[in-house]
Structure 1
Amino acid sequence: MKVLIVRLSSIGDIVLTTPVVRCVKQQVQEAEVHYLTKKSFATLLNSNPYVSKVHVLGDDWDAMIAALQAEQFDCIIDLHHNLRTLRIKRALKKVPAYSFNKLNVQKWLLTALKINRMPPVHIVDRYLDAAKTLGVVNDGRGLDYFIPAKDEVPVTDLPMSHHAGYVAVVIGAALNTKKLPLAKLQQLCASLQHPVVLLGGPEDRAAGELIAAQDTVKIYNACGKFNLNESAHLVRNARLVVTHDTGLMHVAAAFKKQIISVWGNTVPAFGMTPYYGNAVVNAPVFEVNGLSCRPCSKIGYKKCPKGHFKCMNNQDIPAIVQAVEKGIKKVQ
Structure 2
Amino acid sequence: MARPVKILVLQFASIGDVVLTTPVVRCLKQQVPNAVLHFCTKRAYQSIIDYNPYITQAHYIDGSLYRLIKELRTEQFDYVIDLQNTALTSLIKATLGSRSYSVEKQPFREWLYIRWKVNAMAEQHIVDRYMATVQPLGAENDGRGLDYFIPYKDEVEIDWLPETHQRGFVAYAIGGQSLTRRLPVLRMIELCIKINYPIVLLGDKADRKVGDSIMQAVGKRQIYNACGYYNLNQSASLLQQARVVFSHDTGLMHIAAAFRKKVYSIWGSTTPQFGFYPYKTPHVRLEASGLGCRPCSVTNSGTCPMKHFKCMNSLPFDFEVKELRAKKNFE
| Band of TM-score, shorter chain | over 0.9
Question: What SS does structure 1 have at the residue aligned with 2:51?
Answer: coil
* 1:96-123 Cα deviation digits (max 9, x unpaired): 0000012111111101111111110110
Match of 1:167 among 162, 167, 170: 170
Contact kept? 1:190, 1:215, Cα under 8 Å:
no
Distance in structure 2 (CA, Å) of the matches to 1:225 and 1:329: 28
Gaps of 5+ in 1: none
Contact kept? 1:9, 1:41, Cα under 8 Å:
no
- The match for 1:328 is 324
Contact kept? 1:76, 1:98, Cα under 8 Å:
yes
- The match for 1:192 is 195
- Please identify, of 212-221 and 54-63, the stretch whose mean Cα deviation from structure 2 is larger: 54-63
User: How much does 1:42 deviate?
Assistant: 1.6
Distance in structure 1 (CA, Å) of the matches to 2:219 and 2:63: 46
Question: What SS does structure 2 have at the residue aligned with 1:328?
Answer: coil
User: How much does 1:191 deviate?
Assistant: 2.8
* 1:198-225 Cα deviation digits (max 9, x unpaired): 1111111001001011211111000111
User: How much does 1:193 deviate?
Assistant: 2.5
Contact kept? 1:110, 1:295, Cα under 8 Å:
yes
Question: What SS does structure 2 have at the residue aligned with 1:180?
Answer: coil
Match of 1:134 among 133, 137, 149: 137
- The match for 1:89 is 93
Distance in structure 2 (CA, Å) of the matches to 1:131 and 1:302: 34
* 1:240-288 Cα deviation digits (max 9, x unpaired): 0011111000000000001111100101110111001xxxx43111111
Alignment partner of 1:20 is 2:24: yes
- The match for 2:122 is 119
Distance in structure 2 (CA, Å) of the matches to 1:252 and 1:157: 20
Distance in structure 2 (CA, Å) of the matches to 1:122 and 1:191: 30
- The match for 1:76 is 80
Distance in structure 2 (CA, Å) of the matches to 1:143 and 1:40: 20
Contact kept? 1:198, 1:220, Cα under 8 Å:
yes
Contact kept? 2:260, 2:282, Cα under 8 Å:
no
- The match for 1:295 is 295
Contact kept? 2:147, 2:258, Cα under 8 Å:
yes
Gaps of 5+ in 2: 327-331
Contact kept? 1:258, 1:327, Cα under 8 Å:
no
Match of 1:9 among 13, 20, 30: 13
- The match for 1:206 is 209
Query: Following TM superposition, where does structure 1 have runs of at least 4 consecutive aligned residues deviating by more than 4 angstroms?
Result: none
- Please identify, of 63-72 and 137-146, the stretch whose mean Cα deviation from structure 2 is larger: 63-72
Question: What SS does structure 2 have at the residue aligned with 1:108?
Answer: helix
Distance in structure 1 (CA, Å) of the matches to 2:46 and 2:14: 10
Question: What SS does structure 1 have at the residue aligned with 2:283?
Answer: coil
- The match for 1:316 is 316
- The match for 2:157 is 154
Quick one: structure 1 residues 195 and 257, their matched pair in 2 at CA, closer, same or farther if it must change by over 3 Å? same
Aligned-pair identity in percent equals 46
Where in structure 2 are the equivalents of 1:279-290 lying within 5 Å?
281-290=281-290
- The match for 2:271 is 267
Question: What SS does structure 2 have at the residue aligned with 1:284?
Answer: strand
Distance in structure 1 (CA, Å) of the matches to 2:191 and 2:287: 15
Distance in structure 2 (CA, Å) of the matches to 1:147 and 1:29: 27
User: How much does 1:170 deviate?
Assistant: 1.0
Match of 1:58 among 57, 62, 66: 62
Q: Tell me how many residue pairs correspond in the alignment.
A: 322
Question: What SS does structure 2 have at the residue aligned with 1:76?
Answer: strand
Contact kept? 1:196, 1:218, Cα under 8 Å:
yes
Distance in structure 1 (CA, Å) of the matches to 2:282 and 2:255: 15
TM-score, normalised with respect to structure 1: 0.95
Alignment partner of 1:227 is 2:231: yes
Distance in structure 2 (CA, Å) of the matches to 1:264 and 1:127: 25
User: Given residue 99 of structure 2, which amino acid in structure 1 is its aligned partner?
Assistant: P
* 1:76-112 Cα deviation digits (max 9, x unpaired): 000011000111011101x100000121111111011
User: How much does 1:58 deviate?
Assistant: 2.2
User: Given residue 177 of structure 2, which amino acid in structure 1 is its aligned partner?
Assistant: A
Question: What SS does structure 2 have at the residue aligned with 1:62?
Answer: helix
Match of 1:254 among 248, 253, 258: 258
- The match for 2:329 is none
Question: What SS does structure 2 have at the residue aligned with 1:13?
Answer: helix
Question: What SS does structure 2 have at the residue aligned with 1:3?
Answer: strand
